[in-house]
Chain A
Amino acid sequence: MVKKSNTEAKKLNLPWIEKYRPNSIEQVSSQEEIVAVLKKALTSDNLPHMLFYGPPGTGKTSTILALAKELYGPELIKSRVLELNASDERGISVVREKIKNFAKTNVTIANKETKNSYPCPPYKIIILDEADSMTGDAQSALRRVMENYSKITRFCLICNYISRIIEPLTSRCAKFRFKPLPIDSMKGRLKFICEKENLDCRDNVIESLIKVSDGDLRKGVMFLQSASQLYKDEEIPMSAVNEISGSIPNDVVSQFLNCCLKKKFSEFKKILDKIQNEGYSGTQFLIQFQELLMENEEISSLEKSKLSIKVAQVDKSLVDGSDEYLQLMSLIAV
């Protein structure tokens, strides 16, 4: 009894991104083409090697996990699916030993019960999540493995940037591109969760949540949950959305932009000091700065282009770890 209540409590505690992960391919939001192709794979015995790529939070991992669940059912999935991600050691030695060993073992036989309720195709699946953080060597070591054992094993590589996967691997896989989610399907999903969680959330709050999450459903769900935790039993105010997503009030950014164009150094520095002291993030600032810059119609295209080049440079420097203060300060010098 104790154990049961424990697991129940655990389920309650699950973050919504896990709790509402789709259980079947049918439930995957948006990505219609991919869903259509994979559904065919469910009915036939054949599946190509797959490469999923696309921005974060578009459902890559969810899709393959859902597919695996539907193919094998809860029991068989343990012996048929190997999931490796960047939290596992994935150097060349692991490819040579762990992956190769799993790839070459024979397919376990399903018992009757599972066989009747699930398709149980005669192959195993190896999921390599976050494959773009694998080294080139490890990727090359995969090449022959993928071919040699293709009779009994399918690979599914998941990455954000397809350019970081070496060519020989991409040519062995069927590529699926995951698009950022359109507003409607995000809205649908978020509303669904609101309903399930008994959460009272106004439409305009959901809309602004969607806007700040930028096509990333995980972000959207995460923001929704954080908002509901921060404002328990109260209505979620609009201002909360900005704070949760870490975005900067627009008037601060537009002030900054104005000073930038007027080249008034002392004023400019004051605003910058304020930004620094408030602890706003540099990259977030750049994103919003760029957005405002593009929307502003009073600025000539030439100036816009010059500033955009500068923004790109600053962004690169920030990623390389430069000092935020100095870099943002250099935005005035265009």
Chain B
Amino acid sequence: MSLYVDKHRPSELKQLTHSKSLTSQLMKLGSSLDLPHLLIYGPSGVGKKTRILALLKQIFGNSVEKIKIDQRVFQTPAGKRLELVVCSSNYHIEITPSDVGIYDRVVVQDLIKELAQTQQVDVNSKRSFKVVVINEAHNLSKDAQHGLRRTMEKYMGNLRVILCSNSTSRILSPIRSRCLLIRVASPSINEICDILFEISEKECLNLPEKLSQRIAVYCNGNLRRALLILECLRVKQFPLSSDMEIVTTDWEDFLESVALMIVEEQSPQRLLLVRGKLYEALAHCIPAEVILKTLTLLILEKIDDNFKVEFVKEAALYDHRLRLGTKHIMHLEAFVAKFMTMYKKYLVELMSDF
């Protein structure tokens, strides 16, 4: 038995539910003989991947779904051996070059170029090109992206590239100017509700209206998350009732408590306590960037409107440092300490005004 997310994933373009106008454009793209390079971007969990697979199916027919997975071995110029998992069908190949970290350039230079230089073997195929789907394109290093530039132009007869990315900020402008940009927006709350209803009908769950509204608001546009929550709730209690509590993840509860600690009291002792908690979070493999962002959003809910402006400025600063630096705990701690001093000062000033 598979998860709802996979089980009810639309496999054809006409089954897609939200962003109708986009769907009709994709249909046109899929039915024409030609296809430009695509750069598909949007927040996570809105169905970028689903759209790519559906588009491929539209273009090449059912045989795209016959996928084989194999491991490719590469050798870096320095002689290091790398392994990369590759999913491929006769017509397309799907890779995540950022899996191999800074060596993604080698993957681009070897694998994609090798593919690009060979022609489509299948004579019966309607299209003369193959498609390379690159996942997590925002994590591609600069070198790898430079490597893509000429390959994308030179071998366009044999190859189309579909980049799937969370944002276009980290994609080089020469790459962007070679692609057709396709933005996938999050579904609205009503659309999420509709989808939830549809699926619960298929699964014979009796989903109360109120609960679906709450799930839709909570998941913040992330459809995948909404479906996972629905499934979680079903496992927890069946039949569903409208006043059920939405299951939050452990780490969110944990960070919520940390945020509360920070706002409650600002003192060196408290900082020490928080530090311990942060270490714990890091030790449980929660990425430091996520910790910082979540903490910021949680703290923002708890403080005065007047203070928020100053605070977000610092949050942005520490987020930037966190990305550049290597030792995460230092920046997280500095962030908390900075907030504490600023907030304390703000509170003291507020008191003295009275």
Binding site for B on A (CB under 8 A): 6, 9-10, 12-15, 17-18, 56-57, 85-89, 91, 93, 129-130, 133, 160, 216, 218-219, 222, 225-226, 229-232, 243-246, 263, 265-266, 269, 273, 276-284, 314, 316-327, 329-330, 332-333
CB distance from B190 to the nearest CB of A (A): 14
Contact A86/B150 with A56-B173, A246-B183, A322-B316 known, Cβ cut-off 8 Å: yes
* A243–B178 CB distance below 8 A: no
A230 (CB) vs chain B CBs: closest residue: B25
* A279–B296 CB distance below 8 A: no
* A13–B323 CB distance below 8 A: no
Segment among B151-159, B253-261, B265-273, B278-286 that sits at the interface with chain A: B151-159
* B169–A10 CB distance below 8 A: no
Contact A13/B129 with A130-B146, A218-B178, A322-B320 known, Cβ cut-off 8 Å: yes
Q: Chain B 110-151, CB within 8 Å of chain A: the 1/0 string?
A: 000100000000000000110000000000001100111111
* B156–A329 CB distance below 8 A: no
* A13–B150 CB distance below 8 A: no
* A87–B147 CB distance below 8 A: yes
B78 (CB) vs chain A CBs: closest residue: A91
Q: Which of B142, B146, B185, B317 contacts A277 (CB 8 A)?
A: B185
CB distance from A13 to the nearest CB of B (A): 5
* A279–B46 CB distance below 8 A: yes
Q: Which of B220, B310, B316 contacts A326 (CB 8 A)?
A: B316
Residues of A within 8 A of B150 (CB): 85-87, 129-130
Bound Cα distance A229, B38 (Å) = 13
Binding site for A on B (CB under 8 A): 25, 28-29, 32-34, 36, 41-43, 46, 77, 108-109, 113, 128-129, 142-143, 146-151, 153-154, 156-157, 167-170, 173-174, 176-181, 183-186, 220-221, 289, 292-293, 296, 300, 305, 308-310, 312-313, 315-317, 319-320, 323-324
CB distance from A14 to the nearest CB of B (A): 7
* A15–B149 CB distance below 8 A: no
Residues of B within 8 A of A273 (CB): 220
B108 (CB) vs chain A CBs: closest residue: A87
Bound Cα distance A219, B177 (Å) = 5
| Most central of B128, B173, B177 by chain A CB within 10 Å | B177
Residues of B within 8 A of A14 (CB): 156-157
Residues of B within 8 A of A130 (CB): 146, 149-150
Subset of 25 A-B contacts with CB under 8 Å: A12-B33, A13-B129, A14-B156, A17-B153, A56-B174, A85-B149, A87-B147, A87-B154, A218-B178, A222-B178, A230-B29, A266-B305, A277-B186, A279-B185, A281-B168, A281-B169, A317-B316, A318-B169, A322-B316, A323-B289, A323-B293, A326-B293, A329-B312, A330-B312, A333-B312
CB distance from A272 to the nearest CB of B (A): 10
Question: Apart from A87-B147, A246-B176, A273-B220, what 12 extra A-B contacts exist at CB < 8 Å?
Answer: A86-B146, A86-B149, A86-B150, A87-B149, A87-B151, A130-B149, A244-B181, A277-B186, A280-B183, A281-B41, A281-B167, A319-B170
* A18–B156 CB distance below 8 A: yes
Residues of B within 8 A of A13 (CB): 33-34, 128-129, 157
A243 (CB) vs chain B CBs: closest residue: B183
Contact A87/B113 with A277-B220, A322-B316 known, Cβ cut-off 8 Å: yes
Residues of A within 8 A of B313 (CB): 330, 333
* A10–B128 CB distance below 8 A: yes
CB distance from B290 to the nearest CB of A (A): 9
Residues of A within 8 A of B154 (CB): 87
Residues of A within 8 A of B109 (CB): 87-89
B181 (CB) vs chain A CBs: closest residue: A246
Contact A283/B320 with A87-B147, A277-B43, A326-B312 known, Cβ cut-off 8 Å: no
Q: Which of B42, B157, B169, B178 contacts A324 (CB 8 A)?
A: B169
Bound Cα distance A321, B138 (Å) = 9
Q: Which of A222, A325, A333 contacts B177 (CB 8 A)?
A: A222
Bound Cα distance A266, B300 (Å) = 10
* B320–A320 CB distance below 8 A: yes
Q: Which of B156, B177, B293, B308 contacts A265 (CB 8 A)?
A: B308
CB distance from B224 to the nearest CB of A (A): 14
Bound Cα distance A269, B297 (Å) = 11
Bound Cα distance A18, B150 (Å) = 12
* B309–A333 CB distance below 8 A: yes
B123 (CB) vs chain A CBs: closest residue: A2
Residues of A within 8 A of B157 (CB): 10, 13-14
Bound Cα distance A280, B46 (Å) = 13
B110 (CB) vs chain A CBs: closest residue: A89
A310 (CB) vs chain B CBs: closest residue: B313
Bound Cα distance A281, B176 (Å) = 12
* A56–B177 CB distance below 8 A: yes
A57 (CB) vs chain B CBs: closest residue: B177
